[in-house]
């Protein structure tokens, strides 16, 4: 009954008492029981009796008008929920129970959501593939032998398989955008501050690299959960208030013909891509062009070497500081990726940070010049198609050997480093029936417009109608 319903429709059914919260929760729990053993998307789940007890309490409440009332949600296993472990996919934290919720988790609960468990993540959140030694890898919904991407791969598979209505993710190096592309869904990284978050004082000289984000089957679904968690929070000095809410902000049909998108492609041949990725994206851009949206193929002044160098400096320093605050007894117990970042980060000096900040400043100026002529920029949402889930990471693209464990997700750092709101939209499948996505990148603080465009995009192409055969 609920399988093909929009989230907004389910919420309305609850609010008008046409269906009970208990029935909604039972629907999702049944799907988790059926499909999660194949996917390994949800790795921590409250006892069924406790979840149903909470659902019954909701049904007895008179006020059902909260935006997320009665919806069961699982939170990424990097975010804190009182009463559920936060393991980071790391054996050293398998018994860690946080004493308070993450900022946005409090918002979810305030708006009526029922937190039922945790979605799988890359170990310690490091790496673009959802695999860890505590729970194992998460499977791709379109090919169970393949990666779901990461680090929010548990979230993407759970949403695509309709185990939960939508899901949170944390996005630093594409952690919402990459898994969304691998699951034929939408993944949004907002401008830092749009969703309030706890900020570490020891990273005040480093740009904000990580922000909470969300994954959903449709942009309309995305607007519901975004409106539930965004807004000013006095505990986060970087948090900000938007001029409208996401559900009400729209691009009118008459305005579509004025939209201009700059296609960055492989950024002057500096990014490597597997065969078919650029072709699939460009085919979709051609279809947008037929909808009277102007598409330009750009040769830009973006210096990808400076982007990469400054990114490595900030990321390694940030991860080093994060690990230092976690009281991990033996650093050598971490994954290769985390050890690599830790060792690199501890050798970074203040002067290195200053040089990286200057390179970033130049990149911001370059991107602002480009945005004078365009509403959005576009890049692929992955450099490789979903790969074997047993691999820790791809070591080459086509015949090109990669020099680091994360060079295959380099395409995400433009948005992350320059604080640009970005959404992954589905663009189609390759000859092996594996999905791909494309990043739609907006100006800083233009989050409303990015989501509004994505809503128009889904209306045009209806990617949410495509269902995986699990």
Q: What is the DSSP string of 237-283?
A: TT----SS-TTT----GGGGGG-EEEE-TTTTTTS---TTHHHHHHH
Give me the residue label for tokens 């695999």. Answer: 131
Among candidate residues 334, 469, 343, the one with its CA nearest the CA of residue 392: 334
What is the spatial distance between Cα 300 and Cα 302, in angstroms, rounded to a whole number?
Answer: 5
Phi, psi of 20 (to 5 degrees): -90, 155
With contact defined as beta carbons under 8 Å apart, do 148 and 76 qualify? Answer: no
With contact defined as beta carbons under 8 Å apart, do 436 and 429 qualify? Answer: yes
Instruction: Based on the residue annotation, tell me whether 146 is a catalytic residue of this protein.
Output: no
Query: Taking the domain 7-465, which CATH number applies?
Result: 3.90.1300.10
Instruction: Based on the residue annotation, tell me whether 157 is a catalytic residue of this protein.
Output: no
Residue boundaries of the structural domains of the chain: 7-465
Residue 137 confidence (pLDDT):
98
What is the spatial distance between Cα 313 and Cα 333, in angstroms, rounded to a whole number?
Answer: 23
Q: Which listed residue (102, 175, 265, 318) is catalytic?
A: 175
Bridge partners (DSSP) listed for residue 188: 214, 423
Q: Which listed residue (139, 151, 157, 415) is catalytic?
A: 151
The whole-model pTM stands at 0.98
- Go through 302-328 and write b for each residue having 16 or more CB atoms within 10 A of its CB, e for each that does not: bbbebbbebbbbbbbbbbbbbbeeeeb
Phi, psi of 397 (to 5 degrees): -120, 120
The beta strand positions in 204-259, using DSSP E, are 211-216
- Go through 171-186 and write b for each residue having 16 or more CB atoms within 10 A of its CB, e for each that does not: bbbbbbbbbbbbbbbb
Residue 128 confidence (pLDDT):
94
pLDDT tens by residue, 394-428:
999 999 999 999 999 999 999 999 999 999 999 99
- What tokens does 154 get? 């548990």
Instruction: Based on the residue annotation, tell me whether 151 is a catalytic residue of this protein.
Output: yes
What is the spatial distance between Cα 15 and Cα 71, in angstroms, rounded to a whole number?
Answer: 11
Q: Which listed residue (66, 76, 284, 359) is catalytic?
A: 76
What is the spatial distance between Cα 5 and Cα 338, in angstroms, rounded to a whole number?
Answer: 41
Q: How far is CA 144 from CA 183, 197, 426, in A?
A: 11, 34, 19
Give me the residue label for tokens 């494309």. Answer: 438
Q: What is the DSSP string of 99-121?
A: SS--HHHHHHHHTT-EEEEEE--
Residue 417 confidence (pLDDT):
98
What is the spatial distance between Cα 249 and Cα 103, in angstroms, rounded to a whole number?
Answer: 25
With contact defined as beta carbons under 8 Å apart, do 41 and 468 qualify? Answer: no
Phi, psi of 35 (to 5 degrees): -105, -25
Give me the residue label for tokens 């548990």. Answer: 154
Residue 201 confidence (pLDDT):
67
Q: What is the DSSP secondary structure assignment for residue 47, as one 8-state letter?
A: -
The beta strand positions in 91-249, using DSSP E, are 114-119, 139-140, 143-147, 167-171, 186-189, 211-216
- What tokens does 23 get? 């029935």
With contact defined as beta carbons under 8 Å apart, do 195 and 104 qualify? Answer: yes
With contact defined as beta carbons under 8 Å apart, do 318 and 345 qualify? Answer: yes
For the chain, residues with pLDDT lower than 70 are: 201-204
What is the spatial distance between Cα 7 and Cα 11, in angstroms, rounded to a whole number?
Answer: 6
Among candidate residues 193, 247, 175, 195, the one with its CA nearest the CA of residue 424: 175
Q: What is the three-class DSSP state of 380?
A: strand
CB neighbours of residue 29 within 10 Å: 19
């Amino acid at each position: 009954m609920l399988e093909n319903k929009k989230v907004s429709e389910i919420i309305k059914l609850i609010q008008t008492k046409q269906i009970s919260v208990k029935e909604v929760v039972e629907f999702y729990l049944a799907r988790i029981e059926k499909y999660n053993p194949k996917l390994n998307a949800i790795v921590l789940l409250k006892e069924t009796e406790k979840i149903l007890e909470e659902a019954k309490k909701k049904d007895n409440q008179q006020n059902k008008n909260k935006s997320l009332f009665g919806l069961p949600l699982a939170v990424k296993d990097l975010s804190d929920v009182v009463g559920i472990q936060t393991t980071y996919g790391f054996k050293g934290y398998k018994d860690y129970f946080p004493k308070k919720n993450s900022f946005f988790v409090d918002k979810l609960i305030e708006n009526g959501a029922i937190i039922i468990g945790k979605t799988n993540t890359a170990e310690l959140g490091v790496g673009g593939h959802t695999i860890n030694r505590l729970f194992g890898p998460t499977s791709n919904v379109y090919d169970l032998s393949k990666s779901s991407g990461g680090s929010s791969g548990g979230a993407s598979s759970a949403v695509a398989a309709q185990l939960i209505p939508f899901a949170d993710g944390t996005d630093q190096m594409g952690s919402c955008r990459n898994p969304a592309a691998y699951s034929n869904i939408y993944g949004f990284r907002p401008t830092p501050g749009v969703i309030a978050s706890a900020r570490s004082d020891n990273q005040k000289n480093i740009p904000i690299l990580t922000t909470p984000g969300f994954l959903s089957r449709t942009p309309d679904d995305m607007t519901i959960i975004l409106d539930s968690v965004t807004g000013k929070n006095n505990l986060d000095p970087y948090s900000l208030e938007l001029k409208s809410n996401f559900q009400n902000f729209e691009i009118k049909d008459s305005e579509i013909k004025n939209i201009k998108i700059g296609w960055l492609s492989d950024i002057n041949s500096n990014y490597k891509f597997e065969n078919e990725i650029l072709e699939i994206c460009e085919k979709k851009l051609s279809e947008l062009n037929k909808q009277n949206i102007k598409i330009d193929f750009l040769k830009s002044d973006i210096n990808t070497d400076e982007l990469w160098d400054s990114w490595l400096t900030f990321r390694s320093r940030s991860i080093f500081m994060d690990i230092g605050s976690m009281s991990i007894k033996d650093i050598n117990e971490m994954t290769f990726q985390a050890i690599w970042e830790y060792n690199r980060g501890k050798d970074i000096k203040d002067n290195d940070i200053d040089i990286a900040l200057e390179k970033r400043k130049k990149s911001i100026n370059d991107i602002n010049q480009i945005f004078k002529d365009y509403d959005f920029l576009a890049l692929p949402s992955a450099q490789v198609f979903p790969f074997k889930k047993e691999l820790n990471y791809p070591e080459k693209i086509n015949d090109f050997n990669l020099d680091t464990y994360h060079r295959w997700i380099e395409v995400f750092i433009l948005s992350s480093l320059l604080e640009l709101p970005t959404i992954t939209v589905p663009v189609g499948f390759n000859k092996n029936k594996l999905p791909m996505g494309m990043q739609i990148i907006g100006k800083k603080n233009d989050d409303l417009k990015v989501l509004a465009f994505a809503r128009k995009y889904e209306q045009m192409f209806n990617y949410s109608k495509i269902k995986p055969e699990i």
